[in-house]
Amino acid sequence: MLAAREHWGSRFGFIMATAGSAIGLGNIWRFPYMAGENGGSAFILIYLAVVVTFGISLVMAEMVLGRVTQRNPVGAFRALGGRGWALAGGLGVLTGFVILSFYVVVAGWTLAYIVFMAGNQLPTADPAVLGRHFSGFVGRTFSPLFAATIFMGLTAWIVAGGVGKGIERASKVLMPLLFVLLLVLVARSVTLPGADPGLAFLLTPDFSRVTIDTIISATAQAFFSLSIGMGVMITYGSYLPRNVNIPRSTLIIVLLDVGVAVLAALMVLPAVFAVGLDPSAGPGLTFITLPAVFASMPFGNLFGTLFFALLAIAALTSAVSILEPMIAWAVDEHGIGRGAATLAASLVCLLLAIPASLSFGPLSDTTLAGKTFFDWMDFLANNVMLPLGGLLVASFVGWRWAKPACTHLTNDGTLRLPWLTAWIWLLRVGAPVAIVALVWQAVSTP
């Protein structure tokens, strides 16, 4: 016996939860350093092009699958495509475990940095000292794992609360808070003396730095940032009532996601230039370069604390959405209670987080083909599993289920969508070509 499926309480709640999924470490931690490494606005323009074509198409395809079937990814694929296709949903559920295992580790660092900032433990603007502090902290055995456990606990607590009382309620509070914090920090950053070169870097595209690799990284970034390829959008779509305008909601969510990524770049890069640091510092940009920026501005501790709080909030609503498909699968397909499923899945994720966290300390020399456990999880998720999941969604909707997909996307013909044919062909050909190029490049270059 199936209990009636829970639905989002309001369109606003749905949009906040889904934007909360999309907006995460990918936007605030990863996007600015990728833009910094890849020629600033040239990368941003390419990223935008990928998002408005493949990105939007795949988000809509996943949402339609979820809304029509009212099921988790496995159940959705099985209902429409049979047993074989159910494996595509299974891949999504599995991808969730892989992503969470390293996501909670980085999210734990952000919690720790809130404490460091608030406690004035990083009172230096010297990146070398800050770099040692960062690698010293992440290299420890217990403290980063403790932080990851707290973060996992918060995530589980929200998910266990259910769709409406847990996920939707938390998102409706956390996301507006995130937008306010972000605007405060951008305003602070762009008004710093010496921010202009950073702004120029972001506003004048340098196409000479664009290579095929740039396009491929932009594509991978779009998958991760829009939460596509692992069934999050199928699952969140499955809590939608029938009458919602999916294209319009998708547009709002994607605009919010892209907007936050660009604002994050506007927050990080001008500040980095203002204090004369290197914008292509890579993943350490957030945890090493930014504390140096905060140390050299008035009330830096306050702004630093707010910044890491922003990052933790963004990570939390995303982690919730990475956990939810597994829970929906356990609940829908196996009749397990939400609380028990959440507890079990969280424990498995934490177990996987142990080697991911230790990859920066005791296990840093334990590598396979030059990659640590953390690197492998990150690589597999971003460059193989998410793109593959996206390929399966695109092929399924584009080739096997195109007609019903169009009927459902237009709410039985009540919405006029002049780009419907373009959508189907992007799913049939455009997205698969881009994805195959991405995966090919990823597995062929070590």
Q: Which residues bind ligand PHE (CB under 6 A)?
A: 21-22, 24-27, 99, 224-225, 227, 230, 232, 318, 321-322
Residue 274 or 323: the one with the smaller Cβ distance to ligand PHE is: 323
**C-beta of 80: minimal distance to ligand PHE in Å?**
21
Q: Which residues pair with 371 in a beta bridge?
A: 368
Which CB contacts under 8 angstroms, 24+ apart, belong to 304-309? 304/113, 304/117, 304/122, 305/114, 305/117, 305/118, 306/181, 306/184, 306/185, 307/117, 307/181, 307/185, 307/267, 308/110, 308/111, 308/113, 308/114, 308/117, 309/114, 309/181
**C-beta of 147: minimal distance to ligand PHE in Å?**
17
Residue 100 or 266: the one with the smaller Cβ distance to ligand PHE is: 100
Number of H helices, E strands in the chain: 22, 0
**C-beta of 275: minimal distance to ligand PHE in Å?**
26
Residue 21 or 301: the one with the smaller Cβ distance to ligand PHE is: 21
**C-beta of 381: minimal distance to ligand PHE in Å?**
8
The token pair at 149 is: 């456990």
Residue 122 or 254: the one with the smaller Cβ distance to ligand PHE is: 254
CB contact at 8 A, 395 and 81: no
The closest alpha carbon to 100, from 353, 355, 354, belongs to 353
CB contact at 8 A, 25 and 107: yes
The token pair at 374 is: 């953390």
Residue 122 or 253: the one with the smaller Cβ distance to ligand PHE is: 253
What 3-state class would DSSP assign to 142? coil
**C-beta of 321: minimal distance to ligand PHE in Å?**
5
**C-beta of 314: minimal distance to ligand PHE in Å?**
7
**C-beta of 317: minimal distance to ligand PHE in Å?**
9
CB contact at 8 A, 179 and 3: no
DSSP assignment string, 321-355: HHHHHHHHHHHHHH---HHHHHHHHHHHHHHHHHH
DSSP-H helix ranges across 161-242: 169-190, 196-203, 212-225, 232-237
**C-beta of 42: minimal distance to ligand PHE in Å?**
21
CA–CA dist 104, 122 (Å, integer): 23
Residue 102 or 273: the one with the smaller Cβ distance to ligand PHE is: 102
Residue 217 or 321: the one with the smaller Cβ distance to ligand PHE is: 321
Residue 64 or 130: the one with the smaller Cβ distance to ligand PHE is: 64
Residue 41 or 110: the one with the smaller Cβ distance to ligand PHE is: 110
CA–CA dist 350, 360 (Å, integer): 16
- What separation in angstroms does the CA of 425 have from each of 50, 58, 59, 193, 252? 15, 12, 15, 49, 23
CA–CA dist 240, 383 (Å, integer): 30
**C-beta of 323: minimal distance to ligand PHE in Å?**
9
